[in-house]
Structure formats: C-alpha cells, structure tokens
Chain A
Amino acid sequence: MVSKQRGVKKTTTILFVVTILMFGFGYAMVPLYDAFCQITGLNGKTQRVTEGAGEASPLIDREVRILFDSNVNGDLPWRLKPSLKSLKVQPGKFYDATYTVTNMADVPVVGQAIPSVSPQIASLYFKKSECFCFVNQVLEPGETKDMLVRFEVDQDLPKDVGALTLSYTFFRAKGDNS
C-alpha cells in the first residue's frame, strides 16, 4: 500500500507539472506564431528598412503595380482614402504615396494604422522607410491630414507577382477612450 501511495504521488506530481507546462505552451504559441508569420509572411505584415543602408544594386527592367486600399475599423469615427488608386513602380527604387484621413468626430481621437500586403508572399519584399503606421496618429476634431508612406519593392520579389495590394486599416489606438 505504501509503495502504491508513493506511486500515486509521483504520477500526480508529474501530471501537475505537465499541466502547468501546457498552460505555458499556450503562451509560447504567441512568439512562435509571430516568428512563423515573419518567416512566411502569413499575416501580411510589411518590412521596415532604413533608406540607403544597403548597397544599391543596379536596377532591373521590371514593373510592378501597387494597388492602394484603405479601411476604417467600425470603432473609429474616421474617413481614410488613398490619394492614388494605383501606381506602377520599379523594384529597388523608393516611392512616396499618401493617404488622406479625416476625423469626423467632435473630439480628438488617436488612431493606429495596421498594414497588410496581399498576396502574403509579397509582404516579405515590401519595405518601408517611412510610414504613418509607425506611430499613433492624433487628429483634432474635424481635422484632415495627408499622411506619407515611403516604400520600395525588393528586387527579389518572386517573378510571378505582377501586382500587389497595400492595405491599411485604421483602428482606435490602444488606450484611447474618447
């Protein structure tokens, strides 16, 4: 009987530890998922670069079409519009694009833009040196603002991608309670 009880104690202890480890594993899935997304471009998040940091390679003769898209989350009383519908770019060169945003509310509101590139694989080759999505945007009541994004498409962009969509969704920033 005594050895039986010792066995029960040991099994129970091991299983409790496993339970706690699996609870931790649930949390470990968060960084794992981020890493996975970064490698595969799974959630369409774009890349960030510093302009002129790398050595410039000679430009290749290729044209890629960028389509601009915008959304506003239901929570946010804003209006967002890209200035251009689309733009033809040469991979390896930096371009500017602007989005126009208006605050429709009569109070100041803080928003945060989240980018997404489709097809997903292209998001790994879409690099931005400047973007309004890098920081929170504060808009006074009724204010309208033009916001800049400066980007290049990497020359290594897979050959079968002839066009890609850059989409921004504005959310109410975390902690904004207006």
Chain B
Amino acid sequence: MSTVAHEHDHHHAPTGLKRWIFSTNHKDIGTLYLIFSLMMFFIGGAMAMIIRAELFQPGLQFVDPQFYNSMVTVHALIMIFGAVMPAGVGLANWMIPLMIGAPDMALPRMNNMSFWILPFGFALLISTLFMNGGGPAGGWTMYPPLVLQLGDAFPFLIFTVHILGVSSIMGAINIIATVFNMRAPGMTLMKMPLFVWTWVITAFLLIASLPVLAGAVTMLLTDKYFGTSFFNAAGGGDPVLFQHIFWFFGHPEVYILALPAFGIVSTIIPTFARKPLFGYASMVYATASIAILSFFVWAHHMFTVGMPIKGELFFMYATMLIAVPTGVKVFNWMATMWKGAMTFEAPMLFSIAFVILFTIGGFSGLMLGITPVDFQYHDTYFVVAHFHYVLLTGAVFSLMAAAYYWLPKWTGYMYDEKLAKIHFWLSTIAANVLFFPQHFLGLAGMPRRIPDYNIVFADFNMISSIGGFAYGISQLLFVYIVIKCALGGKKAKAQAWEGAKGLEWTVPSPAPFHTFETPPKLTKSMLEN
C-alpha cells in the first residue's frame, strides 16, 4: 500500500468553490452528501420542533392548523428524502470505493449531477411554504383527492419528487455499476463487506421502486392539469388506486432507509466486539429476502381501505414473514457480540442502541401488521411511534454510529470521545422520552396529523414534547463534535480502531484524495468477514 500515500501529488485537485461544484471525486461528493443531509436534518428537525411546540399543550397555541399540517408533511419529505437517504448515499460514495479497492465510483460525472440536483429539489420544496395556499399539507403520502386541493405549491411538490427520484436513481445506478465492475481482483461478491452488500441491494430497491413513485405523481399531475382520470372517481378512476401504487413504492422505500443501517451496524459491531460477523452468508441472504418480500406487503399500509378478506390475510401473512429474516439479523448481531472482547466507544454505543431500539420498532410494526388490530391503530400516534423507532432510533442512530466510526478516516483526527458519549446518552434518553409515550397516546386513540387534542392526552404529549426539545438540542452537540474533529485533535492512525477490518483501514487517515489507483493486493486476512 506504499504507492497510495504519494499518489495524490500526481494530479492536482481543484481548489475553492470549483473543487466542490465540479467535483467528480467520490470522497468530495460523499462529503457534500453528508453535509447536505446534516443541514436537511436540522431543517426537518426545526419543523419537528414546531410540531412538538404546538402539541405541548392541548388547544391551538402557535400555528394555524393548515401550517401545522404542512409542517408535518414537509418534515416527513425532508427527513426521508433529504436527510436519511442522502446520508446513506454519502456514506456509500465515501466508503464503497475504499471498501472494494476501487479508485473512484464508476460514473463520476453522473455522481456529481446526482448530488447537485438535490439542493434545487429541496429549494423547490421549501419555497412552497411561502406560496399562495401554503405548502403541501395533505401528508407526505400525497393521497388524492386531498393533495389535488393544494394551491400553487402542487406542481412544485410533484417536480420535487421527480428531481429527488432522478437523483436517487442515478446514485443507485452508480453504486451498482461500481460494485459490479470495479472490485479489486480477488474480492468476490461473497467476500465484500456487508455494508457494500446492503447498499447494492438498496440500490436495486431504489431502481425498482422510485420509478413507480415517479409514475404515480405524474398521474396526479396529469389528473390535475391535463384532464386524465386516473384517480378521479367522476371520470371512472379510483383514488384507492393511488394508494396501491404509492405503497408499492412506499414499502420498499422503508427498506431503502433501513438496509444501509443494517450494513453499518454489521460493520461496527464486529469491530468493537473484536470478532468476525456471525453468519455473514445468512446476513446477505436475509437482506436479499427482506428486499424481495418488501414488494409483496404494500397493502398492510392500507388495511382499512376496504379489501377482500383474502387480500387482508395475504398481506398480513406476508408482513409477518418479513420478521423472519429480520430476526436472523438481530440474532446474528447478538451472536457477534456474544463472548466478544467488547469496548463501548460511541459508534458501538449507537450500534447497540440501534439493535435494541430498532427491535422495539420492529415489534410495534408486527402489531400494526396484524390486520384486526390495525383497524384500531391505523392513523394514530401508535403508527407515529412505530416509524420513528425504526427511522430515528433505527436509521438515524446508525448514521450517527457511522459518522463517529469513519470520522477519523475522513478527517484524520479522532473525535472527542467524551463529548460523543454525552451526545449518545442525551440522544438515547431524549429519543425514548420523545417517542415511547406516543405508543400509549396511539393506543388510547390520539389521531395523527391533527394540531389539537383531547385534554386526556395532555400529560403524555407534554412529556413527549420535552423529550423532543431535548433531542433537538442535543443534536447541536453532534455538529460541535464534528466541527471540532475536522479542525484537529488527536491524530488518527490508518487503522483508527483496533478491531477494524477492511480495506478502508489500509489507506492513511485522512484518506488521500486519490486511493487505489492501482488495485490493492488482497491478503487472506483482509478478506475475512
């Protein structure tokens, strides 16, 4: 690996703003994605703070209901498409070439474009909040006929979805093209790090599901402006059809957010347990089966829409089936830790919290998947609690773990471990104070997406809001830790973590601008999974 260190001298990197705007370097684009997603995380988070402030007490306090609903809608769109997905793509950009020994992504120019259209997409979306008729307020699921009542913001919403879809699809194509064609000699598919595997499968999900969403929103557009009747009952269409098409995308989307998280945790737990990942092959197969099954369960999001009993049963059983490969994963993570020489640095703490809290979210998901009880839980805060457990304490926690884990490789410095641990405990406690009471609220019947509530729900809402503010504030600590780490600190070794395996730890920290221009020679120990 001695050739790597001085290779960045051959080829001068562009400097200043141009370096970022015209960048075709996977590390720079990865950094852009990660910074962008962090910014979106705070914009979406600010909206969540408005929501929790309004729900702090019953009655209408701060915002009018229309604006409240647009906060709910835009918060969801920003967090899903702006925070979690780009963060995952950013990690993929940074780490996949390093992990498989490739010099860069397969399609560097497309990589640049897939990033740079994102800020425009979100500028469109956020601008709708200032338009005649307000921002989108019918929920991020965009169900007609409600969404068609949106004012000037409607075409902007549709084009935002189109742009984000195009960006994600280009990113996905790039990842698959890279992994299938650019691996170092000797790295067979079943020798790849699990993070790479989960991302390949995620990329296939993106390619198969996002075009369907693009189709659905295009139908909305033509229904509103061009006289088609896909979802217009008066013209012979059916609004329920939209729900079917949307959730055909929507359920794979859930795993688009979750699978990279599985990959991150499967990378971090072996490092800090100092044991190879238990059941590597079963992890790969479990991930693939989750991905395939995710295309056959969509209607569990719409049990109450009026379906034949046979349909409800099919979707219920198919949903239950997904618990099996997911269980395989959870047990594999536990077995990896079993009798390991564990230490508890921040990435490991976040990963362990992920395993526990994601499982809680998984269990509430199973409850929702049971058709008869879903009739009670549907559209209540129980659903809100469920998907925040899997998305916030699941996906977001894993992203935090990934950030701490790879920060030494990105910046060349170790982050402040003490502050990171404080960040971890604050986040974990606050997130549970925030979302656990929402289970009870939902079971007691509090509906979602409504700014006011019956006073019987007041106490739990107040607790939840306090947790929300605490969570929001403690994320500022994360920004401080990241900036502090980027500016300096204890120098990181090439192998920043004692137990870390994988090619990314064979290049110096920070990783030089160009790496693996000549493919690395893989030793047997590097290929151990």
A and B together in one complex? yes
Residues of A with Cβ closer than 8 Å to B?
A: 4, 7-8, 11-12, 15-16, 18-20, 22-27, 29-30, 33, 37, 40-43, 73, 112, 114, 120-121, 169, 171-175
> Of B106, B214, B235, B306, which is within 8 A of A174 by CB?
B235
The 9 closest A-B pairs by CB, nearest first: A26-B215, A171-B234, A22-B211, A23-B211, A7-B181, A26-B212, A174-B235, A8-B106, A11-B177
Known contacts: A120-B306, A174-B235. The answer to whether A19 contacts B106 by CB under 8 A is no
B233 partner, pick from A12, A23, A40, A171, beta carbons under 8 A: A171
Stretch at the interface among B80-88, B236-244, B461-469: B236-244
- Which residues of A sit under 8 angstroms from B244, Cβ to Cβ? 29, 33
- Interface residue SS majority, chain A: helix
Q: Of B210, B219, B234, which one neighbours A114 at CB under 8 angstroms?
A: B234
Whether B208 is near chain A, meaning CB under 8 Å from some CB there, is yes
The reply to whether B177 and A8 contact each other, CB–CB distance below 8 Å, is yes
**Do B227 and A33 touch (CB < 8 A)?**
no
**Known contacts A11-B176, A11-B177, A15-B173: does B212 contact A114 (CB below 8 Å)?**
no
**Could you tell me the distance in whole angstroms from the C-beta of A24 to the nearest C-beta in chain B?**
8
B234 and A173 form a contact (CB under 8 A):
yes
Shortest distance in angstroms between B147's beta carbon and chain A's nearest beta carbon?
A: 15
Interface of B with A (CB < 8 Å)? 106-107, 169, 172-173, 176-177, 180-182, 207-216, 219, 227, 229-230, 232-235, 238, 240-241, 244-245, 248, 306-308, 311
Residues of A within 8 A of B169 (CB): 19
Report the separation of the CA atoms of residues A12 and B207 in the bound assembly, to the nearest whole angstrom: 12
Minimum CB–CB distance for B158 against chain A, Å: 14
Q: Given A29-B241, A169-B233, does the pair A8, B211 have CB atoms closer than 8 Å?
A: no
In the bound complex, how far is the Cα of B273 from the Cα of A32, in angstroms?
Answer: 50
Are the CB atoms of A172 and B234 closer together than 8 Å?
yes
| A120 B308 Cβ-Cβ under 8 A | yes
Q: Is the CB of B177 within 8 A of A27?
A: no
New contact pairs (18) apart from A27-B215, A29-B248, A174-B235, CB-CB < 8 Å: A4-B181, A19-B207, A19-B211, A20-B211, A22-B207, A22-B208, A23-B212, A23-B214, A25-B212, A26-B213, A26-B245, A29-B245, A30-B230, A30-B241, A37-B238, A41-B308, A43-B240, A174-B227
How many Å lie between the Cα of A86 and that of B62 in the bound state? Answer: 50
How far is B248's CA from A133's CA once the two chains are assembled, in angstroms? 32
Q: Is there contact, CB below 8 Å, between A18 and B207?
A: yes
Q: Which B residues lie within 8 Å of A41 (CB)? A: 308
Chain A residue numbers with a CB within 8 Å of B214 are 23, 26
Bound complex: CA of A33 vs CA of B215, how far in Å? 15
- Cα–Cα distance between A7 and B176 once the two chains are bound (Å): 11
Complex alpha-carbon distance, A63 and B307, angstroms? 27
Are A40 and B235 within 8 A (Cβ)?
no
